[in-house]
Structure 1
Amino acid sequence: MTAQNTAVVVGGGLAGVTAALELADAGLRVTLLEGRPRLGGLAFSFRRGDLTVDNGQHVYLRCCTAYRWFLDRIDGTELAPIQDRLDVPVLDVGHAKGPRLGRLRRGALPVPLHLAGALACYPHLSPAERVAVGRAALALRRLDPADPALDGIDFGTWLGRYGQSARAIEALWDLVGIATLNATADRSSLGLAAMVFKTGLLSERGAADIGWARVPLGDLHDTLARKALDAAGVRTELRTRVTAVSRTEEGNWRVDTADESLHAATVVLAVPQGEAHGLLPQGVLDDRDKLLDIDTAPILNVHVVYDRKVLRQPFFAALGSPVQWVFDRTEASGLTDGGQYLALSQSAAQQDIDEPVTVLREKYLPELERLLPAARGAKVRDFFVTRERTATFAPTPGVGRLRPAARTDAPGFYLAGSWTATGWPATMEGAVRSGITAAHAALAALGRPRENPLQEAA
């Protein structure tokens, strides 16, 4: 096999695995290098006693066509099913008249009327606020998320222009936005927010239906992904950190690790932006220091194991509480003795990310008892937290001009990762899209174009 048919992918997260699979499926000889002892990047599992624990709760939507393609490619679709129809319980414990439960459900009418019934009955907004939300949604639908001008405006300011009250932002726009963007409206680019709401809620009737893994994430992103890579002929090296990437005199690329040097015509660098900055050879990007201006945002996950069942729904969102989203992870974790394991997903967690576990326990256990009356008499068997301090790139206004394209200024060198210019926020969907884009840019340059899953989904 000639040098032109060789590729090295640096990074074994979703972006790197995707790129490696696409390049190998096109007939290239691919080596995937990952510094961790596992694949999956920031969507992984670990053992805690008898439980298998996800580092954080990850969900996707029906509109996430690239991630759905990825699940299908690794034979994992049945393990991460999607709701038949969007249905989100929203519990408000801050209401003056006591706890109030509402639901965000979609109906059978065409877009945008598919959400009209849910909005009309949504108890967490006044009638006037519901009307104002409808008007803002129609205005949002007219925006073009790709318009560079939107990138410099914060979503909160735009919502204010369209008459959205603080309550409407809390009970609807931030309810969705914090979970998908990892930032509040006032700290989010209007371009990214428009993309999320247009694609997820205002494109197709079922676009926002929610899917999540009913097994540990490691079963998908590590075990099944490794099986798919092996079947595709990819050489996968774990616990292998890349120390340098350089151009050879022959015009190819040299990738150095502690144990060997690999030579390839194509390199896909699929690591976080800070790490990418340190590995980029000269001449690959015109202004490589822009990568350091892409800020990061944390996500905190609080894990609580009770001695009995305290939640009878698979998940819910909360208002009037520091708790954001609560998921039942009992079955997925392997807990079978009658207890229940709940995972609290806390996005935009700047205030809590460095708090001691004792402080977080004192904060969140009473909140769960407020939200779930059955928890008041239950014994807490285990309480722990997982922290991802750099979980996502921060979707701040202006971030769009900092995100680089997959194709660089150097032939044969490509970038992948959710922080690249995918048009999406930092999600599993964005990561997979970046890997597909990088791989197909490389194949086109090699004169070996193949059918692109993103075009097929479109």
Structure 2
Amino acid sequence: MSDHDIRRDGTGDAVVVGGGLAGATAALRLADAGVRVTLLEGRPRLGGLAFSFQRGGLTVDNGQHVYLRCCTAYRWFLDRIGGTDLAPVQDRLDVPVVDPARPEGRRLGRLRRAALPVPLHLAASLATYPHLSLAERASVGRAALALRALDPADPALDGVDFASWLARHGQSPRTVAALWDLVGVATLNARAADASLGLAAMVFKTGLLSEPGAADIGWARVPLGQLHDTLVRERLAAAGVRTETGTRVKDVTRAGGGRWRVGTETETLDADTVVLATAQRETHALLPEGALDAPDRLLDIGTAPILNIHVVYDRPVLRQPFFAAVGSPVQWVFDRTEASGLTDGGQYLALSQSAVEHEIDAPVAELRARYLPELARLLPLSRDAEVRDFFVTRERTATFAPTPGVGRLRPGPRTRAPGLYLAGAWTATGWPATMEGAVRSGLTAAGAALTELGRPHEHPLKETA
């Protein structure tokens, strides 16, 4: 049998490098199609940048992660690992938005949808949104209609920043801050001035202007580690995947005969297929010569940080699962009490702070002095509460930076080297750096590998096939 036949009959081995959502997805899909898979992860756990750790008696997520009903790939992933019931989606979009600078009685607004077709599903909410003037609300409607007409896949949009487009469509700085950035910062990890119009258009068209329920929010009611590590390990094992954590890959080289050799600190594995599901810089370091036309472009894909602030109070101070804030350095606040295992009558809140390059390295004492008074402004019940714990988690390279022009830098799943594929939220998924984008990249990379292997397969998501 020739080397080409070995690859085409689909019976060869595959090595997936990286155990985040992209790598786990690729490994599961390859294994489901009958390929023998080894998954290698350098960290002692799976889950990539969506994980949990222990702090005293608390199980803490490194950061708050949410998804939307339109995130069909991540919803497939949850179903595949048996986690759908552990990360439910709200029945209908409802986001409390607080502006502490406004008079009492006008501080709380809500972004919620009605049971009406697009774009009427948000019309009533926008019409009563107190954080914008009547004229600003009307301008949002006009801009939304213009945004709906854009094609996010148009390469011309990639080089334009979202803020400039919003300004040309009559959006005031207040409108950008109180509405567009409220959503955009959380989903893109960038403010409008630093975000590609193509990616912004994709987010708003898909989430808010496609189907009435597309933006309904889902999040884990259990620690992320239970989903992305424990359950994933179980499903990988059941699928026959050999999973090795704490295993750093040193190199990926040709093994001869069209096969690949993956070297670790303890062993060498030969395979017909290799999927590199690692961050862009790590992928660049592992790429064999000639695998990409311009490999250094990977190094031009910037990164953006996310800061997470964790506060444990001695009593409940928030009566809702989450809220967003405008007119405050606080962005989004989530109640993580039950998920963390806190049962002593206190309440644990997690603040998710995106696009915070200026704060990512700030000392904890400085962050405490800045954010506790802000929480007191936003949550009156916290003013008399005792702060039992205050700590910070920092992801300095949490996402790729969605800057104008980034689209031309993001490679697809195929390389010039047969049998070698790329996955990761930073690859050309059409999505920003989200859990959805990571899963989509894993599905696409595995699908490309199965096609080359000659293994019959059906893509689980028709729209990403």
Name the TM tier (shorter chain): over 0.9
- Is the counterpart of residue 316 in structure 1 residue 323 in structure 2? yes
CA displacement 1:230-269 (0-9 Å, x = unmatched): 0000000000000000012211000000000000000000
Amino acid corresponding to residue 185 of structure 1 in structure 2: A
TM-aligned CA deviation for residue 2 of structure 1? 6.0
Deviations 1:307-330 (A, max 9, x none): 000000000000111000000000
Q: Which residue of 2 aligns with 1:69?
A: 76
2:376–2:383 contact (8 Å) kept in structure 1: yes
In structure 2, C-alpha distance between the alignment counterparts of 1:436 and 1:225, rounded to whole Å: 15
Where 2:461 maps in the other structure, the secondary structure is: helix
Listed as ranges, the matches of 1:272-283 within 5 Å are 272-283=279-290
Deviations 1:200-227 (A, max 9, x none): 0000000000000000000000000000
Take 1:86 and 1:56, find their aligned partners in 2: how far apart are those partners? 21
Aligned to 1:160: 167
Amino acid at match of 2:41: E
- SS in structure 1 at match of 2:256: coil
> 1:406-439: CA deviations, max 9, x gaps?
0111100000000000000000000000000000
Give the SS at the match of 1:248.
Answer: strand
Q: Does 1:362 align with 2:365?
A: no
Counterparts of 1:288 and 1:101 in 2: how far apart (Å)? 49
Deviation at 1:288, TM superposition (A): 0.3
Q: Deviations over 1:1-54 (max 9, x none)?
A: 967521000000000000000000000000000000000000000000000000
% identical equivalent positions: 77
Match of 1:377 in 2: 384
Amino acid at match of 2:212: R
Partner amino acid, structure 2, of 1:201: L
The aligned counterpart of 2:124 is 117
| Structure 2 equivalent of residue 6 of structure 1 | 13
Matched, 1:141 2:157: no
Counting matched residue pairs gives 458
Q: Please tell me the residue identity of whatever aligns with 1:399.
A: V
1:449 is displaced (CA, Å) by 3.2
User: What does 1:16-415 align with in structure 2 at a 5 Å threshold?
Assistant: 16-95=23-102, 100-415=107-422
State yes or no: 1:441 paired with 2:431. no
Report the Cα offset of residue 94 of structure 1.
2.2
Query: In 1, distance between residues paired with 2:54 and 2:429?
Result: 33
SS in 2 for 1:453: coil
CA distance in 2, matches of 1:179, 1:344: 12
CA distance 1:97–1:215, change in 2 (3 Å)? closer
Shift of 1:454: 2.0
Shift of 1:95: 2.6
Q: Aligned equivalents of 2:446 and 2:395: distance in 1?
A: 28
The alpha-carbon deviation at position 98 of structure 1 amounts to 7.7
Q: Quick check: 1:93–1:99 contact (8 Å CA) kept in 2?
A: no
Is contact 2:106-2:130 (8 Å) kept?
no
CA contact (8 A) 2:40 2:244 kept: yes
Matched letter for residue 250 of structure 1: G
Counterpart CA distance in 2 for 1:314 and 1:457 is: 32
- Please report the RMSD computed on the Cα atoms of aligned residues, expressed in angstroms: 1.2
Given that 1:323 and 1:364 are in contact with CA atoms closer than 8 Å, whether structure 2 keeps it comes out as yes
Question: Residue 447 of structure 1: CA displacement?
Answer: 1.1
Structure 1-normalised TM-score? Answer: 0.99
- TM normalised by structure 2 equals 0.97
Unaligned runs of 5+ in 2: none
- Tell me the residue number matched to 2:425: 418
Question: What secondary structure does 1:23 align onto?
Answer: helix
**Alpha-carbon distance in 2 for matches of 1:367, 1:449:** 56
CA distance in 1, matches of 2:105, 2:165: 32
Instruction: Out of 334-343 and 247-256, give the one that drifted further.
Output: 247-256
Code of the aligned partner of 2:342 = L
Secondary structure of 2:298's counterpart equals helix
**Quick check: 95-104 or 131-140, which moved more?**
95-104
